Amino acid sequence: MATTQTFSSMINEYLPNPLLKEELIKRDYLLTKVDKDNGWKTGDLIVPFKGATASSMAMGQLTAANDIAEDKYVRGTVPGAKEIWGTMIFNHRDLMEHDGSGISEKTFLRILPDSIEEFMSYMKNVVSCMLMNGEHLVTATANGTVGGVLVVDHPDRVQINQKLVIDSSTQAPVTGYVSAINMETLAITLVTTRGGAIPVDLSLYLVADGTKAYIENAIGNSFTSLKSSLLSAANGGSANLYGVSKLAYPYLQAINVPGASVTAANILSKIFDAYVSIRTYGKGNPNEVLMSYKHLGSVLKALETSKGPFNVVPGSMETSVYGWTKVQVGGVKGLLTVVGIQELDDDVMMFIDWKALKFYSNGFFRKRKSPDGLEYFEQRSTSGYTYIVDMCLFGELVLQRPSYCGIMHSISY
């Protein structure tokens, strides 16, 4: 029996190659682009807006003094910041072992900051997915099995050993740990304990019941998503913003455009048709269209084969190592920047005026620090000492000008 080591298999052996690890793609386009306010410390966030403008006019006479329509100001409220915590653990013995051949303590200490930075990057990915799509992380695309297998739309968002909660409209939430990810079949396998082998029975979790997977405690307790804010209640969004009914004021209503008729063949014309509707009835200048890589692929294929009115603006193609691709598309109805991002689901495209939204927080992402300045928590047990590092984010996404933006919904080709 010995105290716990995580890194023992890497130490005092000849390693001809550097440590192999997954390269995380940066999936946080929204967090990168959105304006940020780090001054929200505590309590409710007040969102004032102008619900209506003075509108009294009359031909050939003055409006009666008791019949004048005034400016209408409304005080909206965001009731407290949401919070997310991420946690890592390191074994003390790994830090005190061996300074000979192989990986030394000095080398390992250099790896630690990289590991923390990688975890922070993944945490940003998860937050960005929730800010875009809602509280779920992935959605089931095939019925679950008794063997714990669930085929999902984005297994790339999930990690081995990750704790997930599976829920549907007909079943109670069940917790499991990811034991396998099959990138060919897009299936994840969940077991009842971390590192265990007993599968979670998912046979009653069906696609028809809206089965989804969530991080721990996200159900009903997540950040407000851009998708929910943009969509009307009739199209699956929230009924209220800032505690005020969206239907009470046009200002609170983003322009919703049905997308059920979108296909890979007509996607460009549908995007520009939606753009015209959003510019016609909306208030802003939403010249950037956010879409999943599935739709971006259809757009690029259509541009490659099209001899019609659509073209790529020369020099506008921008492929980023951070996981998104931009291209400016010109057409008879205007010029749009199309952005493919991996954290957006396939059922919507969002037409964004970046002046319309802001992320409020009290410091954005940061490591938890004790009053005496320590950035870790030491824990002792019979298996040795461990160090726990916590990262956190307190904040909320606020769509300050909903009518500046639009969304195409119910896309299913």
Mean pLDDT by 10 residues, the chain (413 residues): 55 47 66 92 88 92 94 91 92 62 51 78 93 97 98 95 98 98 98 96 98 97 96 97 94 96 94 94 93 93 75 67 76 81 94 95 88 84 87 94 96 95
Total structural domains within the chain: 2
Q: Which residue among 196, 214, 232 closes a domain?
A: 214
**Do 200 and 330 have their domain in common?**
no
Separation in Å, CA 187 to CA 21, 154, 155, 181, 384? 21, 9, 7, 6, 36
**Burial letters 57-66, b for 16+ CB under 10 A, else e:** eeeeeeeeee
pLDDT given at position 385: 85
pLDDT given at position 17: 45
**Please, which residues have CB within 8 angstroms of residue 174's CB and are 6 or more apart in sequence?**
165, 166, 167, 200, 201, 202, 205
Integer Cα distance of 401 and 409 in angstroms: 19
**Tokens 């030394």 sit on residue:** 104
pTM value is 0.86
Tokens, residue 99: 């300074």
- Return the H-helix or E-strand segment holding 23: none
Separation in Å, CA 59 to CA 56, 62, 63, 64, 130? 11, 8, 9, 12, 52
Residue at 306 is within a domain: yes
Residue at 269 is within a domain: yes
Residue at 197 is within a domain: yes
Separation in Å, CA 269 to CA 121, 294, 359, 407? 36, 17, 32, 15
**Do 261 and 340 have their domain in common?**
yes
Q: Which residue among 194, 214, 234 closes a domain?
A: 214
Q: Using CA atoms in the order 213, 215, 217, 220, what is the torsion angle rounded to 10 degrees? A: -50
**Do 283 and 405 have their domain in common?**
yes
**Do 209 and 262 have their domain in common?**
no
pLDDT given at position 187: 98
Residue at 123 is within a domain: no
**Please, which residues have CB within 8 angstroms of residue 87's CB and are 6 or more apart in sequence?**
388, 389, 390, 391
**Do 173 and 260 have their domain in common?**
no
Q: Which residue among 198, 214, 230 closes a domain?
A: 214
Q: What are phi and psi of 95, to 5 degrees?
A: -80, -20
Residue at 90 is within a domain: no
**Do 164 and 268 have their domain in common?**
no
**Do 276 and 405 have their domain in common?**
yes
Integer Cα distance of 337 and 410 in angstroms: 22
**Do 297 and 405 have their domain in common?**
yes
**Do 252 and 345 have their domain in common?**
yes
Task: Give the Cβ contact number of residue 195 at 10 Å.
Answer: 8
Residue at 85 is within a domain: no
pLDDT given at position 16: 46
Integer Cα distance of 256 and 277 in angstroms: 9
Q: Structural domain of residue 256, as residue ranges?
A: 245-355+401-409
**Do 250 and 327 have their domain in common?**
yes
Residue at 92 is within a domain: no
**Do 200 and 283 have their domain in common?**
no
**Do 258 and 308 have their domain in common?**
yes
Residue at 234 is within a domain: no
Q: At what angle do helices 293-305 and 267-281 cross, to 10 degrees?
A: 110
